[in-house]
């Protein structure tokens, strides 16, 4: 999970610098990345989050083609992973 954590942090920093990823989303993603070493979160969920962060676009899902990932889609994925991590801590 350490490699996934480092990858997640790297793509998040890139999305902040290049695609205007909001700080409130980035801080939640960094928190998830920090918890990966101690959680049993499915790698598939983290891979999905990494892909969505890489595709993040402030104006994603708008316009004719509706391409990219906007904050609503990304936040839904973040919330899902946060719940999984929280449930693991409670068990």
pLDDT tens by residue, 66-79: 567 889 999 999 99
CA dist., res. 83 & res. 69, Å (int): 21
DSSP, res 55: T
In this predicted structure, the answer to whether residue 24 has a pLDDT above a threshold of 60 is yes
pLDDT tens by residue, 37-64: 888 788 889 999 999 999 998 765 555 5
In this predicted structure, the answer to whether residue 65 has a pLDDT above a threshold of 70 is no
CA dist., res. 35 & res. 83, Å (int): 12
Across the chain, what does the average pLDDT equal?
88
């Amino acid at each position: 999970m350490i490699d996934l954590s480092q990858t997640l942090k790297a793509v998040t920093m890139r999305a902040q610098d290049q695609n205007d990823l909001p700080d409130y989303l980035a801080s939640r993603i960094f928190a998830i990345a920090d918890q990966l070493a101690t959680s049993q979160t499915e790698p598939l969920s983290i891979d999905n989050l990494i892909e969505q962060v890489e595709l993040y676009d402030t104006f994603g899902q708008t316009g004719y083609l509706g391409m990219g990932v906007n904050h609503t889609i990304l936040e839904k994925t973040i919330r899902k992973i946060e719940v999984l991590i929280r449930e693991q801590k409670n068990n």
